[in-house]
Amino acid sequence: MGFIRSYRLRLLRKRWRIRAFRKRRELRPVADRTKAIKKNDIIVFSTLRNERVRLSYFLRYYRDLGVSHFIMVDNNSDDGSREFLADQPDVTLFSTSHSYKRSRFGVDWLNWLQMKYAHGHWSLVVDVDEFFVYPFCDTRPLRALTDWLDASSIRSFGAMLLDMYPKGPINAEPYRAGQNPMEIASWFDAGNYTIERNKKFGNLWIQGGPRARMFFRDKPELAPALNKTPLVKWDRSYVYASSTHMLLPRGLNLVYDEWGGEKTSGCLLHAKFLNTFSEKAEEELRRGQHYSASVEYKAYAAALEDSPVIWTRWSEKYINWRQLEILGLMSKGNWA
Amino acid sequence: MTVGIVMLTHGDLARSSEVARYWATSGCPVVIHVDKRVEQKPYAAFVQSLSDLDNVLFSKRHRCEWGAWSLVQASQTASELILREFKDIQHVYLASGTCLPLRPVSELVQYLEERPRTDFIESATTNDVPWTVGGLDEERFTLRFPFSWRRHRKLFDGYVKLQRRIGVKRRIPMGLVPHMGSQWWCLTRHTLSAILEDPQRDLFDKYFSKVWIPDESYYQTLARLYSHKIESRSLTLSKFDFQGKPHIFYDDHLQLLRRSDCFVARKIWPDANMLYDVFLHQNEADTKRAAPTPSKIDRIFSKAIDRRTKGRAGLVMQSRHPNHNWENGMTCAPYGVVQGLTELFHDFEPWLSRACEAEVHGHLFSPTGVEFLGDQDTYGGCLYNSLEARDYNPKAFLRNLIWNTRGKTQCFQFGPDDTQDITWMMAGDPNASISIVSGAWAVPLFNSNRNFSELRKEAARLQKIEAEHIKILTSHYSKARVNIWTMAEFIEAPMEPLQTIIDSMGARSKRRLTEAPRMVDLTGFGQFLQNLKNQGMHPYLMGDFPVGNDPKPNTPKRRKPYLVK
């Protein structure tokens, strides 16, 4: 890594910070409870649009892990998500009607909010359909993990996106508010992932899973990225570069070991494929607010016409984090 | 007679207070040293919380820093105070604020009473301990370390380098033999007071104050001068990870700790409520517990270190992406690659899977399809039969296949027409056993009904690819087990090579081969090769096939198995 390249990345980081700073005007506080954030609180950040049905389980899941504050951006929901969130005692809600796409898919908004509120905190950036699983998450709260990361001088923690799907057609079983989505979408692909290193940012680029298998069969290079680094001991100088896939400074992307060992890592269970999905896909396609000319959603819409079954006889049924660790999707590393 | 506890604490005072109270109410005097970096207000509250106990005292506070002399000073002042104030103390136990007693105090007291002259302190000479961090062992005692390792790493490293270059060395005071060990000890009054009241103490202190991590060597070295009997182990259970940082215990370690048979454990996560509840409020009755299995803790933590430093062989995942040559195993299990046999035999794949209990796939890397076992669309781990996805990252495809099917030997067909991108990977992989009948690719050409000029071109192409493939596999880079027969050689006596192939796959069948697969009809093959030669294309990989002397298709005649005894 030459001096010039690292200086370029520095400039890039500055540019994104300025961009985030300018985008702050697009956010309007609906319920500001940031005064209640205590010194060591773990904060969840999230952007959403029309996710009312998912919200109650989402909040409960993360509250149970020990998250004490949520900072959320509502992008123009009209299904009551905003009202619901505004009533929650531990949610700080911002709302915006500006373009999701032009805020680089919400990254600018969250970068700003993190800059302002997450400095010195452990910050977890997840979508409302992503459920964070880490080693020992059934017996140790999230704080145990962050304390251990602090003690080990680790600033960022990787968690790969694991797409979950139901056994039958996606629309077969409707999702009820408050229900654990993994009761319906309890299956996943265990071992069809490809990993490449991104030379510029130093992160890994992971592709594969059911989305690549179903929707990008012939164009695997277009399949969505699954690598994520959602949990970071935030400093106001950090920025997410693209979704939560990569960060700057690039040292934060080194969540993997290069010398044969395994670092500790988790998974984000991605409960995207519920009955809400087809509706969502159509709507998102109409809005055209997604990554790379919404190529992903175009692929979905085409395939969803005939209500496909994602399940195969080789799919694995989710049991717990230990199963994921045995399958090699995540690792305990040296946390014992 | 009793045990005095010297407790060093710097954070989470609530837990420290709880533990101190436990010690004190169980009859052990406690002297607490609180790091000076703790602010006045919480400190006052902490003192207040223990003010009702008259056998808890607080010593003069020092500003402590990891690896620095101040930690020794802290334990010195506290030890002096405890020896002075509590005359009936026989042993002094050094503990930290995150230590948790695992067995009732009475058991500890009794244990120590039975060993009134024994000092429990881990103490080994520098040559004998492998667990130094930062590569400094002997040099801890011969160099100077005025800079903080944590805060000024560059200065620290630079100064060490400078001293090495110049060659300065400190003289170790007369009579001292440097020893190191865990900083958590339990010393007798006799030894401890001898150390603290030594007429040369000023000299020793001055020396040790510039040693690196003196809390791991000060008492460990000096105890050797005065102790009647040193038992070189710590009574505190403390496990260190590969960076020399202590492992932390959580609620889910409860059963492990119960069965560890140790008196005190550290470090306990301050929010491990269940551990504190169980161990601080246990009844004597609970202590009649299951047989102690202290080795289990060792196993768990050494496995954790292995996972972090070596990882699981053949696994590439989000937090393990080894650089080239650091894979520690390209794949996770042995697998077989067979080249040229499907071309020679009818129904070779079913035959092979019968013979060796492996899962035998077709040409996984064929340009026309991913031929999984039984023509399935998907296979283990949801690998799927898309050519584009396979060719997007063929190495990952192979590695994933072997990983996903752990426990079942995999075997697949390969040939010069297939994607060759995995050749180097297979060649470098000791798990691969590759069996090649060279030149067999000519058989389908021979049987096909294409124009001869086309065939000639194709033959030349395939021969070139296979020659290159064989060259790689037989180069000195190759770590795979490779068996190569020319087609002529093979046809002469196929049973022996077939047996070798099956044996090399590792999946052992119970019996030796009795049934051979049926070979395709090769009448006229020699002439075919001669025709190629006549056209100027020289097919050499298949060995010598004399014209007219056609190999007979081997009818499934039962060969007598022969045994070598």
Q: What pLDDT sits at residue B555?
A: 53
- Phi, psi angles (nearest 5°) of residue B345: -120, 150
Distance from CA of A162 to the nearest CA of B (A): 11
Q: What pLDDT sits at residue B132?
A: 57
pLDDT bin (cut points 50, 70, 90) of residue A292 is: low
B418: closest CA among B352, B469, B350? B469
List of chain A residues whose C-beta atoms are within 8 Å of the C-beta of residue B303 = 336
**B323–A334: do the CB atoms touch at under 8 Å?**
no
% chain B with pLDDT above 90:
52
- B241: enclosing H helix or E strand: none
DSSP string, B437-490: EETTTHHHHHHS---HHHHHHHHHHHHHHHHHHHHHHTSTT--SEEEEEEHHHH
B514: closest CA among B551, B558, B482, B547? B558
Mutation target for A interface from B315, B328, B382, B393: give the one with most A CBs within 10 A: B382
Rounded Cα distance, B109 and B111, in Å: 5
> What is chain B's mean pLDDT, rounded?
88
B237: closest CA among B101, B104, B112, B107? B101
Q: What is the mean pLDDT of residues A238-263?
A: 92
Distance from CA of A224 to the nearest CA of B (A): 13
**B392–A206: do the CB atoms touch at under 8 Å?**
no
Note the pLDDT tens digit of each residue in B92-118. Answer: 999 998 999 998 888 899 999 999 999
**B326–A332: do the CB atoms touch at under 8 Å?**
no
pLDDT bin (cut points 50, 70, 90) of residue A212 is: very high
Q: What is the mean pLDDT of residues B451-457?
A: 89
Note the pLDDT tens digit of each residue in B64-101. Answer: 888 889 999 999 999 999 999 999 999 999 999 899 99
CB-CB: which of B242, B319, B384 is closest to A256?
B319
**A261–B320: do the CB atoms touch at under 8 Å?**
yes
A127: closest CA among A195, A196, A58? A58
Distance from CA of B303 to the nearest CA of A (A): 8
DSSP state of B319: T
Question: Which has more pLDDT, A305 or A35?
Answer: A35
List of chain B residues whose C-beta atoms are within 8 Å of the C-beta of residue A255 = 318-319
Q: What is the mean pLDDT of residues A143-150?
A: 95
Nearest C-alpha in B relative to A221: B392
| Cα separations in angstroms, A187 against B133, B243, B400 | 44, 38, 19
Q: What pLDDT sits at residue B233?
A: 87
Nearest C-alpha in B relative to A335: B304
List of chain A residues whose C-beta atoms are within 8 Å of the C-beta of residue B266 = none
Question: Which has more pLDDT, B149 or A113?
Answer: A113
Say which residue the tokens 């005065």 belong to.
B226
pLDDT bin (cut points 50, 70, 90) of residue B329 is: confident
List of chain B residues whose C-beta atoms are within 8 Å of the C-beta of residue A218 = 386, 388
Q: How many CB atoms lie within 10 A of CB B564?
A: 3
Distance from CA of A53 to the nearest CA of B (A): 30
Category of A294 on φ-ψ map: left (φ > 0), alpha (ψ -120 to 50) or beta: left
Q: What pLDDT sits at residue A335?
A: 93
Q: Which of A191-195, B26-30, B159-163, B168-172 is the least confident region?
A: B168-172
List of chain B residues whose C-beta atoms are within 8 Å of the C-beta of residue A314 = 378-383
Size of interface A-B (CB pairs under 8 A): 173
> What is chain A's mean pLDDT, rounded?
91
CB-CB: which of A141, A143, A258 is closest to B321?
A258
Nearest C-alpha in B relative to A139: B252
Rounded Cα distance, B241 and A336, in Å: 10
Q: What is the mean pLDDT of residues A234-261?
A: 92
Rounded Cα distance, A58 and A63, in Å: 9
CB-CB: which of B247, B310, B383 is closest to A261?
B310
Note the pLDDT tens digit of each residue in B286-303. Answer: 555 556 677 888 889 989
% chain A with pLDDT above 70:
97
Beta strands B236-237 and B124-125, pairing class: unpaired
B441: closest CA among B372, B532, B554, B361? B532
Nearest C-alpha in A relative to B309: A261
Mutation target for A interface from B151, B318, B408: give the one with most A CBs within 10 A: B318
Distance from CA of B391 to the nearest CA of A (A): 9
DSSP state of A176: P
Has residue B558 got a pLDDT over 70?
Answer: no
Q: What is the mean pLDDT of residues B364-384?
A: 93
Has residue B556 got a pLDDT over 60?
Answer: no
B336: closest CA among B359, B303, B307? B359
List of chain A residues whose C-beta atoms are within 8 Å of the C-beta of residue B307 = 261-262, 331-334
Has residue A285 got a pLDDT over 80?
Answer: no
CB-CB: which of A139, A212, A256 is closest to B318?
A256
Distance from CA of A208 to the nearest CA of B (A): 9
Distance from CA of B275 to the nearest CA of A (A): 13
Mutation target for A interface from B319, B400, B408: give the one with most A CBs within 10 A: B319
**B377–A191: do the CB atoms touch at under 8 Å?**
no
pTM: 0.90
Q: What pLDDT sits at residue B504?
A: 79
**B311–A257: do the CB atoms touch at under 8 Å?**
yes
List of chain B residues whose C-beta atoms are within 8 Å of the C-beta of residue A213 = 378, 382, 384, 386, 389
Note the pLDDT tens digit of each residue in B483-511. Answer: 999 999 898 888 888 888 888 776 555 66
| Cα separations in angstroms, A286 against A30, A52, A76 | 27, 20, 15
Distance from CA of B149 to the nearest CA of A (A): 14
CB-CB: which of B308, B322, B382 is closest to A258?
B322
Nearest C-alpha in A relative to B402: A191
Rounded Cα distance, A81 and A58, in Å: 12
Q: What pLDDT sits at residue A257?
A: 94
Has residue B514 got a pLDDT over 80?
Answer: no
Sign of CA dihedral A216, A218, A222, A224: positive
Distance from CA of B367 to the nearest CA of A (A): 14
